[in-house]
Amino acid sequence: MHKIVKIALVVVGLIGAVLWFMLPESEMPVTEAVNNGALNTMFTITYILLGVAILFSLVFSLMNLFANPASLKKSLFVIVGFLLVLGIGYVMADGTDVSIQEMADRGITTDESTIRQIGAGINVFFILTLIAVGAMLWGGVRKMIK
C-alpha cells in the first residue's frame, strides 16, 4: 500500500511541476489568465487531494473513535456540550442588533433571521473563547497548587 501511495504522490508531483511551467506569465491580463487550462487543472488536482485527505482523516478518526468506548463517550460529551453552546448562543442573539433598513440602504439585503444567525455565531465565538481561557487558567492554577 505504501508503494502505491508513494508512486501516486510522485505522479501528482510530476504533473504539478509540468503544470507549474505551463502557468501564464505575470504580465498576462487577469481575464485571460483565469481561462488558462493549466491553472484550472492545478485547482482541480488541489480539490481532489483535499477531498482525499478529508475522506481519509474522517474514516481513520471514526475507526479509532469507535474502537475505544471511553473515547466515544468523551466525544459524545464534547459534541453535546458544543450543541449546548450553539443553543445558548442562538438564544442570546435577538436579531435586532442592526437596522435592516440601514443594511438595505447599503445594498445588503437581509432579514431578522440572518442577523440573528450572525449574532449567534459571534456569541458562540465569545462563549468558546471564555471556555478556552477558563480551561487554560484552571490548568495553570491546578499546576501551581500541586
For 108-126, what is each residue's pLDDT tens digit?
A: 888 888 888 988 999 999 9
Instruction: Enumerate the domain spans of the chain.
Output: 1-67, 68-146
pTM of the predicted model over 0.75: no
pLDDT of res. 146 = 84
pLDDT tens sequence across 38-95: 888 888 999 999 999 999 999 998 898 888 888 889 989 999 999 999 999 999 998 7
Which pLDDT band, with edges at 50, 70 and 90, does 24 fall under? confident
Dihedral sign for Cα atoms in the order 136, 141, 144, 146: negative
CB 86, CB 120: distance < 8 Å = yes
The residue among 139, 128, 127, 95 whose CA lies nearest residue 113 is 95
3-class secondary-structure state, position 117: helix
Which DSSP string corresponds to 28-52?
S-HHHHTT-HHHHHHHHHHHHHHHH
Residue 80 host element (H or E): helix 69-92
Q: Average model confidence (pLDDT) for the chain?
A: 88
Q: Residue 130: CB partners within 8 Å, gap ≥ 6?
A: none
